[in-house]
Chains A and B, each alone.
Chain A
Amino acid sequence: MDSKRRDFLKIAGLTAIAGIAAPSAFGTLLKGEANASSAPAGGHGPVAPTGKRYGMVIDVRKFTENPELANQCISACHTIHNVPDFGNKKDEIKWIWVDSYEHVFPENTQYKRPDALKGMPILTLCNHCDNPPCVRACPTKATYKKKDGIVGMDYHRCIGCRFCMAACPYGARSFNWRDPRGKDANGRPFIKEINQKYPTRMRGVVEKCNFCTERLAIGQLPACVEVATPTKALVFGDMNDPNSEISQVLKTSFTIQRNPAIGTHPSLFYII
């Protein structure tokens, strides 16, 4: 009698385990969550585009013709978004900035190249990658990719760990080491003129370009593009719309991207 009860308990236990485990195992497999690779769905080859994907073409030739233009774009962006100027390179906050050709395109610095390219200033900003490493690195989901291709940030959630800064291959993210609303030793506020329509950030969060998502929402172009529109130095639009201006420019011009080989699929294109 004892041995029979023992057998009964064994079978009952096994049945219970199988009953609990099987549905969740099937559920995981059937939902396709058990990917062998962390690569985004679609695997090899191009994925058919759906929805919007905002992108920008930066025509460096136009910026060379008009050397003041880049600073006008930077100042427009930084004024609108209350970006502080801490007055030193170490604490610098930048949403859009100018760097030398060698720093922007280190993979294209052949030993022999046109003299004009040497030290040429290039305007650059967040690439709004289709496969953004910063989003993967963020432990709190404070940074995320939106459906329209913009890599956004929710400063409320940022804990200031700076993993995203380490992950970003383009240096597009800046950390607020100091209180952006503070003043320097001479009493000069770090934000010269506050734009009352946009928030500031606080000490201890990372910030970056948001492709002017707040302006796009009310039908305006990004601030930098608006400044550069008369010269057509910056072209902004939906790359998934074959009739958009940016699609036409991309179809007819040869462009390069910042370090495309690492597979981030940037949304910024440069005409050199």
Chain B
Amino acid sequence: MYGKGRIIPALILFLGLMTTPIWYKSGDVSKMPKPEKPKDYTECVAPVQYMRTSHMVLLNEWRDDILREGGTRVGKTANGTEYVRSLQNGCMKCHSDKKKFCDTCHIYASVKPYCWDCHLQPKEAM
């Protein structure tokens, strides 16, 4: 092969650079976010798996039901615990630390929800 002395190292360098994003963060992939769960409560308003994937859908359903249909503001968990169907006055009563709960996953997944443009997080310093 003509010029093999330069081509092969150059190819290796090229492949190495191209795959940088894959191996650069390879150690972090196993570091899944660990949102801090409330200590005083053991169950959420819906099964954990559903909350993980679809909490934003649930929030939208609550909003539309309460604002437009005059739906109930109080819900019951599977074990009969009453909760307020509200982000600010419901969710954040148990998940009282936004940074340790919401933000851990949202930063990992690089999503920027606009909830806090209007809603207030607990004890927010304004």
* Chain A residues close to B by CB (< 8 Å): 144, 146-148, 152, 154-156, 181, 189, 191, 194, 196-202, 217-218
Which of B22-30, B47-55, B102-110, B116-124 faces chain A? B116-124
Whether A181 lies near B119 (C-beta < 8 A) is: no
Chain A residue contacts of B15, Cβ below 8 A: none
B118 to chain A, nearest CB (A): 4
How distant is the Cα of A200 from the Cα of B122 in the complex, in angstroms? 14
Q: Please tell me the number of chain B residues within 8 Å of chain A, measured between CB atoms.
A: 18
Known contacts A154-B63, A197-B89, A199-B88, A147 near B70 by CB under 8 Å: yes
CB < 8 Å neighbour of B120 from A148, A154, A200, A218: A200
- Asked if B111 is at the interface (CB within 8 A of a chain A CB), the reply is no
Contact A200 B63 (CB under 8 A): no
Q: In the bound complex, how far is the Cα of B125 from the Cα of A189, in angstroms? A: 12
Check: B76 CB closer than 8 A to any chain A CB. Answer: no
- Whether B58 sits at the interface, judged by CB under 8 Å, is no
Q: Which residues of B contact A154 (CB under 8 A)?
A: 63-64, 67-68
The answer to whether A201 touches B118 (Cβ under 8 A) is: yes
Q: Would you give the shortest CB distance from B56 to chain A, in whole angstroms?
A: 12
Q: Enumerate chain A residues within 8 angstroms of B68, measured Cβ to Cβ.
A: 144, 146, 152, 154
**Chain A residues closer than 8 Å to B63, beta-carbon distance:** 154, 156
What would be 20 A-B contacts, judged by CB atoms less than 8 Å apart?
Answer: A144-B68, A146-B69, A147-B70, A152-B67, A154-B63, A154-B64, A156-B63, A181-B126, A189-B126, A194-B124, A194-B126, A196-B120, A197-B88, A197-B89, A199-B88, A200-B120, A202-B114, A202-B118, A217-B66, A218-B73
Q: Are B126 and A199 in contact (CB under 8 A)?
A: no
CA of A144 to CA of B64, assembled, Å: 11
Docked pose: A77 CA to B73 CA in angstroms = 21
A202 near B126: Cβ-Cβ < 8 Å:
no
A146: chain B residues at CB < 8 Å are 68-70
* Further 11 A-B residue pairs, CB within 8 A, beyond A199-B88, A217-B66: A148-B70, A154-B63, A155-B118, A181-B126, A196-B88, A196-B120, A196-B122, A199-B119, A200-B120, A202-B114, A202-B118
Q: How far is the CA of A148 from the CA of B71 in the complex (A)?
A: 12
Cβ B73 vs Cβ A200 within 8 A: no
State in angstroms the CA–CA spacing of A218 and B73 once bound together.
9
Roughly how many angstroms separate A172 CA and B122 CA in the complex, as a whole number?
31
Kindly report which residue of chain B lies nearest to residue A152, judged by CB atoms: B67
Cβ-closest chain A residue relative to B119: A199
A144 to B66, CA, bound (A): 13
> B83 CB to closest chain A CB, in angstroms?
14
A178 to chain B, nearest CB (A): 14
Mark contacts of B57-83 with chain A using CB atoms, 8 A cut-off: 1 yes-contact digit, 0 otherwise: 000000110111110010000000000
Whether the pair A202, B117 counts as a contact (CB closer than 8 A) is: yes
Asked whether, in the complex, the Cβ of A217 is within 8 Å of the Cβ of B73, the reply is yes
